[in-house]
Chain A
């Protein structure tokens, strides 16, 4: 059974999709004023400040932690810099009980939900208070209480999972949806296409939020796809799509709010393409000078999403220079103090090597663990992190 309703022609007619030009939604100019004729943003002072503070917290955390990585205090780091509006503006358009399934550069969404600097630090240093028990590289955060799925390094695997998660929400009938974040590079993975198609076929309340930040590590978007961005793919799946200025907090928030309404009220999945720029390197292991110019970066630095929102807030008299100064200072202080504390906390216990592989440790793995403990007892100097826990005098452990 074919489902096409297209008209019939009697000589070969090709189309190149050029008629599908997707507009970009903008509300806020860089000077903090609104575009003429723009929809009045539906954002009250409390929410606007919650968003803004999360953006600033993300920026400060990123700056300090990259510096900490450069000082050798941290093995690895990834910054959200330049993309704070795309991430936080969209997260703020959701209900806090909606599920977030992110890629890895969306710490801003977690900051918005209320993850504390202490919680960030415990993960970054993989200490005994890290929810992930020191098993994953830095920035692989997760929080069940904040409905933020633990990050997984393989790209795009979270996208079909978001479709499945949202299908479960739909059947549960709890009125919630799932948002999944990914870059324009990850959108080339097969999982992206599988996820969008399945969501459209099964009418799933999921929002696919693409952070088109221009680069997949060093590969520019122009070498990632020939099409006009990621957005046109939605047509192929018969899915609602919107493209939005990703550095425009008001537009991102409005667009995602409307997308959530479609998803939750009508079970229509939505693709949101936010046009933004990764101002920082891909990660602390990357050096962008090898593939892009300082001039290009400068153009985008002028479009800083945080500064844009700050100007808007100040025009409303919702924010002042003094408050800005205070916030910056208190965040810097908190980050430094918290970092020192987190760094001093002990590592996760040795038994966390073998727990959570299954719900219970299987006998064969227990045997391997006993063997390891005996080995560590024999060579305690070689294993300073765990030697104390397995010494003959100390009972217990695993």
Chain B
């Protein structure tokens, strides 16, 4: 075990993947000698050469188009989009191409080797275009996997699993935690399972569900609720698509209450999908309406981002209201 922050854990995962398989390539804007604007790809070019870790021109649709072709050819590309806010020029390549390659060819071809890494989320004074959480746009696209880690240990294991998974995977990294989240990370190769939620803490009164940076917020909210005698079961969904309905449903059948929280806006957010599915599975067991604690239906603000974000107080309030319903 070694103490690492999330960036170091991600860098370690990429290093391990590249060392194990010379068909693994890392590329994107500023990814080469500079190691990426957040340094997630530090030293990889020096270690594995310019052919395998390199800068691309500044064109997201090109980066993902190129990555799709590489993956179809049999390589294992790990493409970086500098900020998730800038992934939209590549939307067509991801939604119409990556996601449909296997299906439309009847499995003659696939881009399963593809992993797309992108920092997401607010709380860093990034304003409209350095703060967004676009997971719900992609969650509407069968064929993609979407993974979000909450800490360094999870980041390394889930990223290695994403790289090795035979399906195109979007890996959204909570950039607010890049350096803030530090923890013990096992050395060497290990994977954490995709499409499996993790029960981070068991409880009996209410289920509180989130992913990525929001798990830290949940932890604070739950600490406060537990002081008041509310026993919370905390679940990290980890994979947004295809998501682990069973673990969540089993938990809600037990607790009868559910709070879902994410940074992305309320309307059309993934919490809506979870709420709809869980009410269908657990209708007669629900003690209160499923609550969603999310960003507001606005573009991401700057000066007032604290007001906008679903912080621990708002999550705590939702827990309280649900229990008191």
Residues of A near any B CB (own CB < 8 A): 99, 101, 130-133, 135-136, 140, 142-144, 149-150, 152, 154, 157, 159-169, 171-172, 178, 190-191, 193-195, 197-198, 201-202, 352, 355-359, 362-365
The residue that B106 contacts in the complex, of A131, A149, A169, A198, with Cβ under 8 A, is: A131
- Given the known inter-chain contacts A136-B104, A152-B104, A197-B59, please indicate yes or no for A168 contacting B69, CB distance below 8 A: yes
Q: Cα distance A142–B72 when bound, in Å? A: 13
Contact between B166 and A356, CB atoms less than 8 A apart: no
Contact between A163 and B66, CB atoms less than 8 A apart: yes
21 A–B contacts, CB within 8 A, in A order: A132-B108, A133-B106, A144-B105, A149-B109, A150-B109, A152-B104, A154-B92, A160-B65, A160-B66, A161-B66, A163-B62, A167-B70, A172-B74, A178-B69, A191-B61, A198-B59, A201-B57, A352-B106, A357-B142, A363-B246, A364-B242
Residues of chain B with a CB closer than 8 A to A142's CB: 105-106, 108-109
Contact between B65 and A159, CB atoms less than 8 A apart: yes
Contact between B89 and A356, CB atoms less than 8 A apart: no
Question: B306 to nearest A CB, angstroms?
Answer: 36
> How many B residues face the partner with a CB closer than 8 A?
49
Contact between A160 and B93, CB atoms less than 8 A apart: yes
* B83 contacts chain A at the CB level, 8 A cutoff: no
Residues of chain B with a CB closer than 8 A to A164's CB: 65-73, 77
Contact between B112 and A135, CB atoms less than 8 A apart: no
Residues of chain A with a CB closer than 8 A to B77's CB: 164
Contact between A154 and B97, CB atoms less than 8 A apart: yes
Contact between B106 and A160, CB atoms less than 8 A apart: no
- Given the known inter-chain contacts A140-B104, A150-B109, please indicate yes or no for A359 contacting B69, CB distance below 8 A: no
Residues of chain B with a CB closer than 8 A to A359's CB: 102, 110, 112, 166-167
Contact between B56 and A150, CB atoms less than 8 A apart: no
Question: B60 to nearest A CB, angstroms?
Answer: 9
Q: Cα distance A142–B110 when bound, in Å? A: 12
* B225 contacts chain A at the CB level, 8 A cutoff: no
Contact between A168 and B143, CB atoms less than 8 A apart: no
Q: Cα distance A160–B107 when bound, in Å? A: 21
Contact between A150 and B75, CB atoms less than 8 A apart: no
Which of B25, B51, B106, B143 has the most chain A CB atoms closer than 10 A to its own CB?
A: B106
Contact between B103 and A356, CB atoms less than 8 A apart: yes
Known: A160-B66, A194-B57, A358-B167. 11 other contacts (CB 8 A): A101-B69, A131-B106, A132-B108, A149-B109, A161-B68, A167-B69, A168-B70, A191-B92, A198-B57, A198-B62, A357-B142
- Given the known inter-chain contacts A164-B77, A198-B66, A357-B143, please indicate yes or no for A130 contacting B106, CB distance below 8 A: yes
Q: Cα distance A167–B25 when bound, in Å? A: 11
